[in-house]
A and B are shown apart, each in its own frame.
Chain A
Amino acid sequence: MPIAKSEIRWVDEPPMRTWEAIYLPAILDGLRTTVRHMFAPKITLEFPEQKPQLPPHFKGVHRLNRDEQGRVRCVACYLCATACPAHCIDIVAAPSPWPDREKYPEVFVIDELRCIYCGMCEEACPVDAIELTTLYDLTGYSREEMLFDKEKLLAIYDYTVGKGTERVRTKRGSLGPASEIIAPDHTISGFSDDRL
């Protein structure tokens, strides 16, 4: 529906008066702002020496969580690989050596260069096995180096656990055998959750 003529209200620019027309007051005003900013505290973070304080919901490098027995929590359900829009998760499932679950991931590789760090994998995970950490300065010399396998992802867990920057994002209560085992008093995230 077109806008009715009666609803249109034209607003004109106010005409310039002498004070504005001589420009100088406005320029002086601008200079004052410039000078004020010159002496204002600087917001630059000198990176290699100073590290940023990232919020816990920052989406950085992945990690694979361990349960309280130190085993990988993943049950190789492929939900993360399915949810991944970038198809960067590669899982090969195998029969679990432990009695409490059917499968475990024999191979679990994330291509960190393909990943878009959207966090869909951790949302999809029914057992809170995959999580994004606050590690952001991810570098490597080759593409192969950036394919993070299970051991590396578990190592990232070991490196980041208990550092206070982590949080289990998806807490859906008991979903399967793997999640039931850890549910009552899991301390992976460094604090207990009353809801569980």
Chain B
Amino acid sequence: MNWTTVALIIFVLSFLQATCAYLIYLERKVAAWVQDRKGPNRVGPWGLLQPIADGLKFLFKEQVVPSHVNLVLYFVAPSIAVVTTSLAFAVVPFGPTDAPNQSGLRYVIAPNIDIGLLFVFAISSLNVYAIILGGWSSNNKYSLLGALRSSAQIISYEIPLALAALGIVCLAGSLNLEKILNMQAQTGLRGWFFWYQPLACLLFFVCALAESNRLPFDLPEAEQELVGGYHTEYSGLKFALFFLGEYTHVITVSFLLSILYFGGWHLPGIAEYGVHYPGAELVKLLVLWVKVAIFILLIMLVRWTLPRFRFDQLMHLAWLGLTPLALLNLLMVMVVQHFELDYWLLPVSTVGILVGGFTLLTSRELTKVPTTSEV
């Protein structure tokens, strides 16, 4: 262990948590703007101190521990939520990866991990333990029911998520996130995997929403319908930890989206591979973060655009919609790679798959809405 890594871990962890706090602020602001309101604006200028007030509130709230809970698991569950989502960030590069950097800084906690993407998926899959343990240890029917359906959702959506990312892995021939990123950056704008994998990108985005419990897939929380889902019995800081986990997940997912599909820190003209003009490093860093911010904003906007899915629709979408599409996409990549066909076939056939697949799906008996005469 060297001290750079320790310092980096401390920096990244604190940065993540501060970002999460301000993401909640942004979430509330965006929610307000979308609803033609102004949002929090009382604490500090433009309400900028609101996250601090919220944090203090969570901190000083009475820590209610119901008498009927399984104490150990009850306390472990929220920690798992935070630890897994933060740990997944360890291999995600959050800055330029085309070393050597002039400043000598490193922009990933664990550089050159060859199982990078696999690590992210493996660790963030553990997040389901937080939910199921939270629901189980609460010894409360509603918590358990909420936990059950949440875990069903998260496990279901992990499959198309991983399958969608597998397309990239096949194309890049590596699980290493830095290699995947550099590969795109070296080819230039044309090299962004989005152009070859638009369908996978869409699938990844949709599944990522489901994985991080964001609307329209926020059945685990579903404030308006459930008693509260798996975190019914949680309050104060432990409740905040669950949310911290969720927002960290949103950040990680946005990073992954930009890195896997949109060239990470690469932007033609100002942030090219191997170009080291003064300040280039900062520009690259900013480019990546702006991309991430765009995705976070998009995720927040989607929240106010789409209504929540019903549970059967949710499962239907995952198993009959996204998984077959992801498999077809993977097959397509394999065919193109194996027969060494031209890459432009990928996006073209994507459109075919998308249209054909959904037409097929909607024409099925399963999705058919019975007509009134049949009823």
Contacts and interface: CB of A to CB of B under 8 A. Distances in A.
B33 A37 contact: yes
Contacts of B301: 31, 34-35, 38
A42 B34 CA distance: 9
A33 B302 CA distance: 11
A18 B360 CA distance: 9
Contacts of A11: 372
Given A16-B362, A22-B355, A38-B30, A33 B371 contact: no
Contacts of B35: 37
Contacts of A10: 372-373
Nearest to A8: B372
Interface string A76-102: 000000000000000000000000000
A181 interface: no
A43 B33 CA distance: 10
Contacts, number: 58
B371 A12 contact: yes
B354 interface: yes
Given A12-B372, A22-B354, A40 B36 contact: yes
Interface string A18-62: 100111100100110111011111111010000000000000000
Contact of A18 (B202, B358, B369): B358
Given A10-B372, A44-B36, 15 more contacts: A11-B372, A16-B362, A23-B358, A27-B306, A30-B305, A31-B301, A31-B302, A34-B305, A35-B301, A37-B35, A38-B30, A38-B301, A40-B36, A43-B36, A43-B37
Interface of B: 30, 32-38, 41, 202, 301-302, 304-306, 354-355, 358-359, 361-362, 369, 371-373
Q: Which 6 A-B pairs have the closest CB atoms?
A: A21-B362, A10-B372, A30-B305, A44-B38, A38-B33, A21-B358
